[in-house]
A and B are shown apart, each in its own frame.
Chain A
Amino acid sequence: MANAAQFCTFFVDGQLFGVPVQQVQEVIRYQEMTRVPRVPQVIRGLINLRGQIVVAVDLRRRLNAGELPEGQLPMNVVVRTVDGAVSLLVDEIGDVLEAQEESFEPTPETVTGAVRTLIQGVYKLPEHLLLILDTEKAVNGPDLEPALAGAEA
Chain B
Amino acid sequence: MSDEIVREFLVESNENLDLLDREFVQLEKDPSHERLAGVFRTIHTIKGACGFLGFKKLESVAHVGENLLTKLRDGELTLRPEITTALLQMVDAIRQMLVQIDASGAEGERDDAALIETLTALLKGVPAAPPIVLPPVKKVVAAPAVPEQEGVDRPPAASIGEILIKEGAATAADVASAIRIQSEGDPRHLGEILVERGAVKPQEVVEALRTQQVARAAASDSSIRVDVVLLDKLMNLVGELVLARNQILQFANATEEAAIVTPSQQLNLITTELQEGVMKTRMQPIGTIWSKFPRTVRDVAMSCGKTVRIEMVGKETELDKTIIEAIKDPLTHIVRNSVDHGIESPAQRAAAGKAPEGLLSLRAYHEGGQVIIEISDDGAGLDAEKIRRKGIEKGLITAEQSLRMNERELLHLIFQPGFSTAEKVTNVSGRGVGMDVVKTNIDKIGGTVDVQSKPGTGTTVRMKIPLTLAIIPALIITDGGDRYAIPQISLLELVRLEGEEARKRIELLQGVAVYRLRGRLLPLVYLNRELRADPSTPRAAIADAVNIIILQADERKFGLVVDEINDTEEIVVKPLGKQLKGVKTFAGSTIMGDGRVALILDVLGIAQSANVVNEGRDRGVNEKVAPGASASEKMQTVLLLKCGAEGRLAMDLSLVARLEEFPREVIERAGDIEVVQYRGQIMPLIRIAETLKIAAGDAPADPSAALQVVVYSEQGRNIGLVVDRILDIVEDSIVRQQPAQRSGLLGSAVIQERVTDLLDVAGLVRAANPGFFKNAPVSQGF
Contacts and interface: CB of A to CB of B under 8 A. Distances in A.
Chains A and B form a bound pair: yes
Interface of A: 32-39, 43, 45-48, 51-55, 57, 83-84, 86, 139-140, 144-146, 149-153
A37 to B, nearest CB: 4
A37 B577 contact: no
Contact of B580 (A43, A140, A152, A153): A43
Contact of A139 (B532, B579, B583, B608): B579
Contacts of B120: none
B574 A53 contact: yes
B609 A152 contact: yes
A131 to B, nearest CB: 22
A77 B584 CA distance: 28
B531 A83 contact: no
A54 B583 contact: no
Nearest to B481: A35
Contacts of B589: 34, 46, 53
Contact of A34 (B243, B482, B531, B578): B482
B578 A83 contact: yes
A38 B597 contact: no
7 tightest CB-CB pairs across the interface, nearest first?
A: A37-B531, A55-B577, A83-B578, A34-B597, A46-B597, A53-B574, A146-B582
B583 A36 contact: yes
A35 B579 contact: no
Contacts of B599: 34, 36, 46
A97 B471 CA distance: 44
Nearest to A35: B482
Nearest to A54: B577
Contacts, number: 79
Interface string B514-541: 0000000000000000011100000000
A150 B580 CA distance: 13
12 contacts: A34-B597, A36-B586, A37-B480, A37-B482, A38-B531, A38-B533, A53-B577, A54-B577, A86-B577, A146-B582, A146-B583, A151-B583
Given A36-B583, A38-B532, A151-B609, 10 more contacts: A34-B598, A38-B531, A39-B583, A46-B597, A47-B597, A53-B576, A55-B577, A55-B580, A146-B580, A149-B533
A39 B585 CA distance: 10
A46 B480 CA distance: 17
B595 interface: yes
Given A47-B597, A51-B240, A53-B591, A38 B585 contact: yes
Contacts of A84: 577-578
A120 B577 CA distance: 24
Interface of B: 240, 243, 480, 482, 531-533, 574, 576-580, 582-586, 589-591, 595-599, 608-609
Contacts of A39: 579-580, 583
Contacts of B595: 48
A137 to B, nearest CB: 13
Contacts of B609: 151-153
B579 A34 contact: no
A46 B591 CA distance: 10
A41 B2 CA distance: 58
A32 B595 CA distance: 10
Contact of B597 (A48, A57, A150, A153): A48
B574 A86 contact: no
A48 B577 contact: no
Contact of B582 (A34, A52, A57, A151): A151
A48 B572 CA distance: 13
B485 to A, nearest CB: 11
A153 B597 CA distance: 26
Nearest to B595: A48
A34 B596 contact: yes
Most buried by A among B574, B576, B577, B584: B577
A86 B608 contact: no
Nearest to A153: B608
B533 A53 contact: no
Contacts of B597: 33-34, 45-48, 53
Contacts of A150: 533
A83 B596 contact: no
Contacts of B598: 34
A117 B44 CA distance: 66
Given A46-B589, A48-B595, A57 B584 contact: no
Contacts of A86: 577, 579
Given A36-B599, A38-B583, A53-B591, A83 B533 contact: no
Nearest to B527: A37
Contacts of A32: 596
A30 to B, nearest CB: 14
A150 B531 CA distance: 9
A51 B243 contact: yes
A68 to B, nearest CB: 21
B483 to A, nearest CB: 8
B579 A43 contact: yes
A151 B552 CA distance: 21
Contacts of B579: 39, 43, 55, 57, 86, 139-140, 144-145
